[in-house]
Amino acid sequence: MSGREAILAKVRASLAGGHDPARRAAVEERIGNAPKGVIPARGQLKAGAKTELFAAQAAKVSANVRRVASRDEVPLAVSEYLRAKNLPASVRIGADKRMSAMPWATQKALEVKHGPSDGHDLVGVSHAFGGIAETGTLVMTSGKDNPSTINFLPEHHIVVIDAKDVDGDMEAVLARVKRKFGKGEMPRTVNFITGPSRSGDIEQKIILGAHGPRALHIIIVGE
Amino acid sequence: MEITSPTFKQNARGALADTQLQKALGNVRSGFIDKRAKAVGDLPEFEQLRENGRAIKNHVLDHLDLYLEAYEKKVIEAGGKVHWCQTAADARGAILDICRMNNARVVTKGKSMITEEIGLNDFLEGQGIEPVETDLGEYIIQLRHEHPSHIIAPAVHLNKEQVEADFRRVHKDLPASRSLEEPEELLGEARNVLRSRYFQADVGITGANFLIAETGSSIIVTNEGNGDLTQILPKVHIVVASIEKIVPTLNDAAQILRLLARSATGQDMSVYTTVSTGPRRPTDVDGPEQYHVILLDNGRSAMLGTEFQEMLRCIRCGACMNHCPVYHSVGGHAYGWVYPGPMGAVLTPSLIGVDKGGHLPNASTFCGRCESVCPMKIPLPKMMRHWREREFERGLNPATQRYGLKFWAWFAKRPALYHAATAVAIPAMKLAAFGKDRFRWLPLAGGWTKHRDLPAPEARTFMQQWRDRDAVSKQRAAS
């Protein structure tokens, strides 16, 4: 008997439920309907207030938050961040169409490299799939547009997010992921990011900048 | 790893006398409790979420066979492979096969208690494969050839001076004059050292906080980002998880995620919650080329349908040990195996046998704090009592304790005799206390009073006082 059959047989013997068709129906129904459960009131706000809460929650977990009115202002906001932090004028970006359409050429001194990170980039810029107001969380989906390595290898991670993509709760973002990729289908990696990396492993003292980015800078586009 | 649970009492004595450990354990008391209380207090729906989390897990456990099948189907559809492993040896073998097929020499690891349970690091080393722990706490204890003393804070038993000494001992190529006094400097050094290891690794191994039947995904929850670098940089990602980690859907995981970080570290969300599904897609420019799941039973299927089934709801947040007065006093290593604290006291006898782990359920004051903070509402004290009963039934506790308990049972089952005896003994003890409210020493009980005082009894027994109360209330009712 294979390990698979042995484990399933043991589980069935312990549960003593056997092959009752009602059990199978209950499982199919649960996966099919994917009920939402308890949604905290905290994030259930109107559009503008939701963005405000997202920004406030992100700041609470030590992210920097900057708001700009339109996508055209993003390259300047990126340059200004680099200058403020005394960083070299060079960023790593994937192949996100929304970001390619931004006027990077206006930032003459800024070097823009494309593709996944190899670990030698100080600054990476990604575009978020969405945000969660309840917790100030960014939601990133993998792919050539926004390679996952950019989320983790650079010391500074700059994330652009459209205000309209901020949802109140995790379940609402997951519903959008489902709509984009298909029910039961997922991109290889979905990263939920809440603040810059940290560790409390030495004497339970929280220190920012563990293995992932030391700083997280969020640029919110629009109201 | 060597199991020292059978010598829990000696381990505990050693731990109490260990001044470094006692200093470090102060960080457990101060580091977790207030943060959790604040995070829980800030979410009015926390109790409702607890109820729902419990209901989700109960539903999964009652249908576990079907969810395991549904989960595997989706993993395969996404291009991954599930390796079903009944025992720790099966799991080690499956991991070794994958490493060998990929000519792996260096394996990076995210934090995983299941790999501790199966003794993976020692095994891989024995096979000529170097395992590199990348979580800061795990990295520190790997340098020390130790095991985690806490399920989410593996190095909580250490002070920064000890970590500094280890880094100076191991990182020999760095200048001896460098400053390493502050935790920030220690973290920075570990970050730099480990950066190169991520790129050398052929295989990355992580655990899983959840397996999702709806999508075939695995989820890890971390703060450092090491679990992500471990899984996206090498060409092979192996997930090691036990069968009870399944939840039906991503929405169900979202519910329990709201409980997990708050209960563990007092965060609303951990920094990185990562959902991984299969290997990289054809158009992806990064991510692993292979995705394997080691699905481990190792005794869990035998817990289903027993009084210990509810333990399988555990989401490994560590709240029970963070609030346990016994854990606060002796730390995690005294428990002698992988899982310490109240959850370990229940789980360990299930997984390694009550003959080896039977002392652990006795290491409880039954204060009930563990159950009151458990996000999955696991009745830990009740289950420890079940283990005590089993230990007694099997005659595993010492003869003096057994005879003492038998005598007590004989006495307690004879109410007339019991009341007569206590009616004499209680006033006698009251007199013997000479007006003090506690005994510092009692004849024949010196071993007991050596470590604690016995409160002196009131002048009358409980039953006598109850009768008086009853009489008074009847009088009132009559008048």
| Closest chain B CA to residue A189 | B276
Question: Does any domain span residue B33?
Answer: no
The tens digit of pLDDT for each residue in A60-73 reads: 999 999 999 999 99
Cβ contact, residue pair B255, A149, below 8 Å: no
Q: Give the domain range for residue B430.
A: 414-478
Question: Does any domain span residue B434?
Answer: yes
Angle at A44 between CA A42 and CA A45, to 5 degrees: 105
Nearest-CB residue to B52 (from A38, A42, A152): A38
Average pLDDT over residues A95-121: 96
Quote the CA–CA distance of B65 and A26 in Å, as a whole number: 13
> Could you tell me if A15 and A86 lie in one domain?
no
The number of distinct structural domains making up chain B is 2
Looking at this protein, which amino acid is placed at residue B472?
V
Cβ contact, residue pair B304, A15, below 8 Å: yes
Place of tokens 């089934």: B309
Cβ contact, residue pair B31, A199, below 8 Å: no
How many CA atoms are closer than 13 Å to the CA of B201, on its beta-carbon side? Answer: 28
* Check: complex ipTM more than 0.90: yes
Nearest-Cα distance to chain B for A178, in Å, is 10
Q: Give the domain range for residue A155.
A: 42-221
Which of B296, B322, B337 is the last residue before a domain boundary? B296
pTM for this structure?
0.93
Contact list in A for residue B284 (CB cut-off 8 A) is 142-144, 147, 188
Quote the CA–CA distance of B290 and B234 in Å, as a whole number: 9
Give yes or no for a contact between A43 and A50, defined as CB atoms under 8 angstroms apart: yes
> Could you tell me if A4 and A56 lie in one domain?
no
Give yes or no for a contact between B97 and B140, defined as CB atoms under 8 angstroms apart: no
Q: What is the mean pLDDT of each run of 10 residues along chain B (479 residues)?
A: 93 96 92 95 98 98 97 98 98 98 98 98 98 97 97 96 97 96 96 96 98 98 98 98 98 98 98 98 97 98 96 98 97 97 97 92 94 98 94 82 87 90 85 82 78 81 85 83
Residues counted in chain B: 479
Give yes or no for a contact between B236 and B201, defined as CB atoms under 8 angstroms apart: no
Quote the CA–CA distance of A164 and B163 in Å, as a whole number: 46
> Could you tell me if A16 and A103 lie in one domain?
no
Averaged confidence pLDDT in chain A:
96
DSSP at B296: E
Mapping DSSP to helix (H, G, I), strand (E, B) and coil, where does residue B297 land? coil
Quote the CA–CA distance of A21 and B322 in Å, as a whole number: 43
> Could you tell me if A9 and A113 lie in one domain?
no
Residue partners of A106: CB distance under 8 A and separation at least 6: A75, A76
Nearest-CB residue to B187 (from A40, A190, A199): A199
The number of distinct structural domains making up chain A is 2
> Could you tell me if A18 and A104 lie in one domain?
no
List the one residue out of B130, B125, B128, B150 whose CA is nearest residue B138. B150
Quote the CA–CA distance of B296 and B88 in Å, as a whole number: 8
Which of B263, B296, B329 is the last residue before a domain boundary? B296
Contact list in A for residue B247 (CB cut-off 8 A) is none
pLDDT at A78: 98
Cβ contact, residue pair B64, A27, below 8 Å: no
List the one residue out of A116, A37, A163 whose CA is nearest residue B199. A116
Nearest-Cα distance to chain B for A165, in Å, is 18
- Residue A185: Cβ-neighbour burial (10 angstroms; 0-12, 13-18, 19+): middle
List the one residue out of B426, B457, B447, B68 whose CA is nearest residue B245. B68
> Could you tell me if A46 and A26 lie in one domain?
no
Quote the CA–CA distance of B240 and A82 in Å, as a whole number: 40
| Closest chain A CA to residue B216 | A184
> Could you tell me if A5 and A87 lie in one domain?
no
Question: Does any domain span residue B459?
Answer: yes
Quote the CA–CA distance of B280 and B423 in Å, as a whole number: 77
> Could you tell me if A63 and A143 lie in one domain?
yes
DSSP at A195: S
Residue A120: pLDDT band (50, 70, 90) is: very high
Question: Does any domain span residue B463?
Answer: yes
| Closest chain B CA to residue A24 | B66
> Could you tell me if A91 and A122 lie in one domain?
yes
Give yes or no for a contact between B287 and B278, defined as CB atoms under 8 angstroms apart: no
Cβ contact, residue pair B223, A198, below 8 Å: yes
> Could you tell me if A18 and A113 lie in one domain?
no
Residue A118: pLDDT band (50, 70, 90) is: very high
Question: Does any domain span residue B20?
Answer: no
Cβ contact, residue pair B224, A189, below 8 Å: no
Cβ contact, residue pair B183, A203, below 8 Å: yes
**DSSP bridge pairs for A189:** B276
Q: Which helix (H) or strand (E) holds B320?
A: helix B319-322
Q: How far is CA B369 from the centre of its chain?
A: 15
Q: Which B residues in the span 58-77 are in contact with A, Cβ-Cβ below 8 Å?
A: 59, 62-70, 72, 74
> Could you tell me if B419 and B289 lie in one domain?
no
Question: Does any domain span residue B107?
Answer: yes
| Closest chain B CA to residue A2 | B84
Question: Does any domain span residue B363?
Answer: no
Q: In this structure, what CATH number is given to the domain that contains residue A81?
A: 3.40.50.10420
Question: Does any domain span residue B194?
Answer: yes
- Residue B88: Cβ-neighbour burial (10 angstroms; 0-12, 13-18, 19+): buried
pLDDT at B457: 82
pLDDT at B66: 97
> Could you tell me if B290 and B418 lie in one domain?
no
How many CA atoms are closer than 13 Å to the CA of B433, on its beta-carbon side? Answer: 19
pLDDT at B437: 83
Q: In this structure, what CATH number is given to the domain that contains residue B54?
A: 3.40.50.10420
Q: Is the dihedral of CA B88, B90, B91, B96 positive or negative?
A: positive
Nearest-Cα distance to chain A for B189, in Å, is 10
Cβ contact, residue pair A23, B217, below 8 Å: no
Give one word for B8, left, alpha or beta, with left for phi > 0 and alpha for psi -120 to 50.
alpha
> Could you tell me if B283 and B421 lie in one domain?
no
**A74 pLDDT above the threshold of 90:** yes
> Could you tell me if A55 and A11 lie in one domain?
no
> Could you tell me if A131 and A153 lie in one domain?
yes
Nearest-Cα distance to chain A for B447, in Å, is 35
Which of B259, B274, B296 is the last residue before a domain boundary? B296
pLDDT at B436: 82
> Could you tell me if B432 and B290 lie in one domain?
no
